[in-house]
Chains A and B, each alone.
Chain A
Amino acid sequence: MRLPWTRAPRAALASVSTVLVAALAGLVLAFVVTAAISHTVASGSAAVAYQTGRGCPMIVTPTVDGDRLRPAQVERAVRIGAGAAARNGFDGVLTGRYTAVARMDFNGKTPWLRLGHRDGAADHVKIISGGERSGVWLPRSVAEAGAVKLGDRGLGGLLPPVTTIFEDIAAPSGNWWCSEERYVVANPLAGEGTTAALGFLPDRAEFDRLMARMPVQYTLTMRFPHQLPATLSEAHELSGRSTALLNEINEAGLTKTDSLRRGIELSEQARTSVLLAVLPLTAVTVLVGMVAVGAVAVQWCQRRRAEVRLLWVRGVSPAALGGKAVLELIVPFVLGGAAGVGLGRLALPLFAPSTALEPGTLGLVIAIVAGVLGVAVLVVGATTAVHVRHTFQAKPRNRRVLRWIPWELGTSALAVWSWTRLLDGALTVQRGEVLPRIDPIALAFPLLVVLTAAGLISRVLGVSLGASHRLDAWSWPAVQLAVRRLAISRTTATGVLTVAALAVGTVAVGYGVASAQQNALNDKSGMIVGANTAVQLPLAVAEGKVRIPQELSSTTTLVGDAPGLVNGNQVRVLVVDRASFKRISSVDIGDALTKLGPRDASGTAPALRVGKTPEGQWEPVSGVKLRTVASVPQFPGFGVDKGYVIAREALPNAYDAAAWRLWSTSTDINEFTAQLTAGGVRYFNPQSRTKVIDALPFYVVSWTFSFITALGAVLAVLAACSLLLSVEVRRRQNALFSALATRMGLRRRTLVSSHLVELGVIAALATAVGTAAGVISAALSAARLDPAPRLAPLPAVPNPVPFVLLTTLAAAAVVVLAGAIAVRAARTARAGELLRG
Chain B
Amino acid sequence: MDYPTPSGPVTAVDDVHLTVPRRGLTVLAGPSGSGKSTLLRMLGLVEQPTAGTVFYGGEAVTGLPHRRLRRLRRDRVVMIFQNPAENLFDYLTVGENLLAAAQLAGRSSAPPDLLARLGLPGTEDWRTSALSGGQQQRLAFACALATGAEVLLADEPTSQLDARSATLVLETLAELATWDVTVVTASHDDRLIELGEPVVRLRDGRIHR
Within the complex, what minimum Cβ distance (angstroms) separates A114 from chain B?
88
What B residues does A401 contact at CB under 8 A? Answer: none
Contact between B85 and A306, CB atoms less than 8 A apart? yes
Contact between B86 and A314, CB atoms less than 8 A apart? no
Contact between B46 and A313, CB atoms less than 8 A apart? yes
Complex: A11 Cα to B90 Cα, angstroms: 8
Select which of B4, B70, B96, B100 is within 8 A of A315 by beta carbon.
Answer: B70
Complex: A171 Cα to B103 Cα, angstroms: 85
Query: Given that A2-B104, A309-B86, A315-B75 are known contacts, is A14 also in contact with B46, CB under 8 Å in the complex?
Result: no
> A247 on the interface (CB 8 Å rule)?
no
Select which of B71, B86, B91, B105 is within 8 A of A14 by beta carbon.
Answer: B91
Contact between B3 and A315, CB atoms less than 8 A apart? no
Within the complex, what minimum Cβ distance (angstroms) separates B133 from chain A?
12
Contact between B105 and A310, CB atoms less than 8 A apart? no
Contact between A314 and B4, CB atoms less than 8 A apart? no
Complex: A393 Cα to B47 Cα, angstroms: 8
Contact between B86 and A396, CB atoms less than 8 A apart? no
Residue interface mask B68-89, A partner, CB < 8 A = 1 = 0011111100110101011111
Contact between B91 and A396, CB atoms less than 8 A apart? no
Query: Given that A3-B96, A4-B100, A392-B46 are known contacts, is A317 also in contact with B91, CB under 8 Å in the complex?
Result: no
> B147 on the interface (CB 8 Å rule)?
yes
> A588 on the interface (CB 8 Å rule)?
no
What B residues does A392 contact at CB under 8 A? Answer: 46
Within the complex, what minimum Cβ distance (angstroms) separates B74 from chain A?
3
Contact between B4 and A397, CB atoms less than 8 A apart? yes
Which residue of B has the minimal Cβ distance to A400? B6
Count B interface residues, CB 8 Å: 32
Select which of B67, B85, B92, B101 is within 8 A of A314 by beta carbon.
Answer: B101
Residue interface mask A392-406, B partner, CB < 8 A = 1 = 110011100000000
What B residues does A398 contact at CB under 8 A? Answer: 4
> B66 on the interface (CB 8 Å rule)?
yes
Complex: A311 Cα to B66 Cα, angstroms: 15
> A307 on the interface (CB 8 Å rule)?
yes
Select which of A3, A309, A317, A396 is within 8 A of B100 by beta carbon.
Answer: A3
Count A interface residues, CB 8 Å: 23
What A residues does B79 contact at CB under 8 A? Answer: 313
Contact between A316 and B91, CB atoms less than 8 A apart? no
Contact between B74 and A315, CB atoms less than 8 A apart? yes
Contact between B4 and A310, CB atoms less than 8 A apart? no
What B residues does A7 contact at CB under 8 A? Answer: 89, 91-92, 96
Query: Given that A3-B96, A3-B100, A7-B92 are known contacts, is A310 also in contact with B87, CB under 8 Å in the complex?
Result: yes
> B99 on the interface (CB 8 Å rule)?
yes
Which residue of B has the minimal Cβ distance to A307? B89
> A10 on the interface (CB 8 Å rule)?
yes
Contact between A317 and B70, CB atoms less than 8 A apart? yes
Residue interface mask A1-43, B partner, CB < 8 A = 1 = 0111001001101100000000000000000000000000000
Which residue of A has the minimal Cβ distance to B45? A313
Interface centre among A310, A392, A396, A397 (most CB of B within 10 A): A310
Select which of A11, A309, A396 is within 8 A of B89 by beta carbon.
Answer: A11
Interface centre among B73, B81, B87, B89 (most CB of A within 10 A): B89
Contact between A311 and B91, CB atoms less than 8 A apart? no
Which residue of A has the minimal Cβ distance to B153? A313
Contact between B91 and A314, CB atoms less than 8 A apart? no
Contact between B105 and A2, CB atoms less than 8 A apart? no
Q: Which of A297-343 contact B (CB under 8 A)?
A: 306-307, 309-311, 313-317
What B residues does A10 contact at CB under 8 A? Answer: 91
Complex: A587 Cα to B74 Cα, angstroms: 80
Complex: A314 Cα to B44 Cα, angstroms: 10
Main secondary structure, interface of A, reads helix
Contact between A314 and B105, CB atoms less than 8 A apart? yes
Complex: A317 Cα to B70 Cα, angstroms: 7
Select which of A2, A11, A315 is within 8 A of B73 by beta carbon.
Answer: A315
Within the complex, what minimum Cβ distance (angstroms) separates B11 from chain A?
14
Contact between B86 and A306, CB atoms less than 8 A apart? yes
Which residue of B has the minimal Cβ distance to A389? B66
What B residues does A307 contact at CB under 8 A? Answer: 89
Residue interface mask A740-762, B partner, CB < 8 A = 1 = 00000000000000000000000
Contact between B92 and A2, CB atoms less than 8 A apart? no
Which residue of B has the minimal Cβ distance to A311? B104
Contact between A3 and B105, CB atoms less than 8 A apart? no
Within the complex, what minimum Cβ distance (angstroms) separates A541 from chain B?
87
Within the complex, what minimum Cβ distance (angstroms) separates B186 from chain A?
15
Contact between A313 and B90, CB atoms less than 8 A apart? no
Query: Given that A7-B92, A392-B46, A393-B66 are known contacts, is A316 also in contact with B104, CB under 8 Å in the complex?
Result: yes
Contact between B4 and A396, CB atoms less than 8 A apart? yes
Complex: A3 Cα to B89 Cα, angstroms: 10
Interface centre among B46, B70, B81, B96 (most CB of A within 10 A): B70
Within the complex, what minimum Cβ distance (angstroms) separates A19 from chain B?
13
What A residues does B72 contact at CB under 8 A? Answer: 315
Complex: A10 Cα to B91 Cα, angstroms: 7
Residue interface mask B3-20, A partner, CB < 8 A = 1 = 110000000000000000
Complex: A823 Cα to B114 Cα, angstroms: 49
Contact between B104 and A313, CB atoms less than 8 A apart? no
Complex: A417 Cα to B146 Cα, angstroms: 63
Contact between A313 and B91, CB atoms less than 8 A apart? no
Select which of B44, B66, B86, B91 is within 8 A of A310 by beta carbon.
Answer: B86
Select which of A3, A11, A13 is within 8 A of B103 by beta carbon.
Answer: A3
Contact between B74 and A396, CB atoms less than 8 A apart? no
Select which of B78, B91, B99, B147 is within 8 A of A11 by beta carbon.
Answer: B91
Interface centre among B75, B92, B147 (most CB of A within 10 A): B92
Complex: A190 Cα to B85 Cα, angstroms: 96
What A residues does B44 contact at CB under 8 A? Answer: 313
What A residues does B46 contact at CB under 8 A? Answer: 313, 392
What A residues does B73 contact at CB under 8 A? Answer: 313-315
Contact between B105 and A315, CB atoms less than 8 A apart? yes
Complex: A244 Cα to B4 Cα, angstroms: 80
Within the complex, what minimum Cβ distance (angstroms) separates A387 from chain B?
15
Contact between B3 and A396, CB atoms less than 8 A apart? yes
Contact between B66 and A314, CB atoms less than 8 A apart? no
Select which of A3, A14, A316, A396 is within 8 A of B90 by beta carbon.
Answer: A14
Q: Which of B1-56 contact A (CB under 8 A)?
A: 3-4, 44, 46
Contact between B91 and A2, CB atoms less than 8 A apart? no
Select which of A11, A14, A306, A315 is within 8 A of B104 by beta carbon.
Answer: A315
What A residues does B83 contact at CB under 8 A? Answer: 306
What A residues does B71 contact at CB under 8 A? Answer: 315
Which residue of A has the minimal Cβ distance to B103? A2
Complex: A7 Cα to B74 Cα, angstroms: 20
Within the complex, what minimum Cβ distance (angstroms) separates B46 from chain A?
6
Complex: A13 Cα to B99 Cα, angstroms: 21
Which residue of A has the minimal Cβ distance to B104? A314
Contact between A3 and B91, CB atoms less than 8 A apart? no
Complex: A317 Cα to B79 Cα, angstroms: 16
* Pairs A–B under 8 Å by Cβ, sample size 21: A3-B96, A4-B92, A7-B89, A10-B91, A14-B91, A306-B83, A306-B86, A309-B81, A309-B86, A310-B81, A310-B86, A313-B73, A313-B78, A314-B73, A315-B72, A315-B74, A315-B75, A315-B104, A315-B105, A316-B104, A392-B46
Known: A313-B73, A317-B67, A393-B66. 12 other contacts (CB 8 A): A4-B89, A4-B104, A14-B91, A306-B83, A310-B81, A310-B89, A313-B46, A313-B79, A315-B74, A316-B70, A316-B74, A396-B3
Sorted nearest first, the 8 A-B pairs with minimum C-beta distance are A315-B74, A3-B100, A306-B86, A315-B73, A2-B103, A11-B91, A315-B70, A313-B79
A residues neighboring B (CB under 8 Å): 2-4, 7, 10-11, 13-14, 306-307, 309-311, 313-317, 392-393, 396-398
